[in-house]
Structure 1
Amino acid sequence: MENKENSLYDLFKNYSYSQLKTLFKNAKTKEEQDFYMTLSNLVLQKEQSKVIGR
């Protein structure tokens, strides 16, 4: 399962907050919405850490 080219983390890093928000809006289930919301929160936390670190 170790495929560096298509790791889930690498795929995630390529998504912007707005892209994840769109995926959230288009989600078909509550579970899918929760998934995209969690990823969106990770993106926001990462950006917040950058700002606080400056």
Structure 2
Amino acid sequence: MRNINEQNNLYDQFLKYSYADLKELFKKAETKEEQEFYIALSDLVLQREQERVLGKK
């Protein structure tokens, strides 16, 4: 089992990616599974931005 600090580090890394970054990674993905992963992360980025714009956060 990994420690909590490593999990937080993963989240911190995710926050550094923009939608454009994730779109580029999607284009470079070599497998469908990898594409789906980047799509899911892109959706999270868009949801976060939508919440920010709508003032929910």
TM-score > 0.5, shorter chain as reference: yes
Give unpaired runs (5+ residues) of structure 2: none
Where does residue 3 of structure 2 map in the other structure?
Answer: 2
Q: TM-score, length-normalised on structure 1?
A: 0.87
| Stretch deviating more after TM superposition (43-52 or 1-10) | 1-10
Q: TM-score, length-normalised on structure 2?
A: 0.83
For the residues of structure 2 that align with 1:52 and 1:4, how far apart are their CA atoms? Answer: 31
Superposed CA RMSD in Å reads 1.8
Where does residue 20 of structure 1 map in the other structure?
Answer: 22
Give the percent of matched residue pairs that are identical in Structure 1 and Structure 2. Answer: 59
Count, aligned residues:
54
